Structure 1
Amino acid sequence: MKNKQIASTLRSAISKINKRLRKQMNAAGSLSMSEIDTLSYLYNTESLPPSELAELIKIKGQSMSEIISRLEASGIILKIRSQTDKRKFEVSLTEQGRVLVEETRYERDGWLSSAIAELLTDQEKEILVSAATLLEKLSDFQ
Structure 2
Amino acid sequence: MASVSLSPQPSAPAQAPPSNAHRTIAETSHEFRLANGRLSRRLRQEGSGSEVTGGQFSALGSLDSHGTLTLGELSELERVTPPSMNRTVNALVRAGLVSRQAASDDRRKIGLALTEAGSALVRETRKRRDAWIAQRFLTLSPGQRQTLVDATAIMKELADS
Q: TM-score normalised to the size of structure 2?
A: 0.77
Q: Distance in 2 between matches of 1:15 and 1:138?
A: 14
Instruction: From 62, 78, 93, give the equivalent of 1:57.
Output: 78
1:7 corresponds to 2:29: yes
User: Equivalent residue for 1:99?
Assistant: 120
The equivalent residue for 2:100 is 79
Q: Which amino acid aligns with 2:74?
A: L
The structure that has the greater radius of gyration is 2
Q: Amino acid of the residue matched to residue 49 of structure 1? A: T
2:135 alignment partner AA: S
TM-fit CA distance, 1:2: 2.5
Is 1:18 aligned to residue 47 of structure 2? no
**2:59 equivalent to 1:29:** no
**Alignment of 1:132 onto 2:159:** no
Q: Deviations over 1:12-64 (max 9, x none)?
A: 11111111011110x15111112111101100112111122223323333332
Question: 2:26, 2:56 → 1: CA distance?
Answer: 32
- Residues 116 and 125 of structure 1 are in contact (CA less than 8 Å); yes or no, is this contact kept in structure 2? yes
Return the alpha-carbon distance in structure 1 between the equivalents of residues 67 and 149 of structure 2: 30
Unaligned ranges ≥5, structure 1? none
Across the two proteins, how many residue pairs are aligned to each other?
Answer: 139
Larger relative contact order (CA 8 Å, sep ≥ 6): 1
Q: Percent identity?
A: 27
TM-score by length of 1: 0.86
Whichever structure has more helix as a proportion of its residues is 1
Q: What 5-or-longer segments of structure 2 have no aligned partner?
A: 1-22
Identify if the C-alpha distance between structure 1 residues 10 and 50 changes in structure 2 by more than 3 Å, giving closer, same or farther: same
Cα-to-partner distance string for 1:47-100 (whole Å, 9 max, x where unaligned)? 111122223323333332232222222221111102343223010112221111
Q: Does the aligned pair in 2 maintain the 1:28–1:100 contact within 8 Å?
A: no
Give 1:110's aligned amino acid: A
CA distance in structure 2 between the partners assigned to 1:46 and 1:127 by the alignment? 32
Picking from 36, 58, 67, the partner of 2:88 is: 67
Post-superposition shift, 1:125? 1.4
- Between stretches 78-87 and 8-17, larger displacement belongs to 78-87
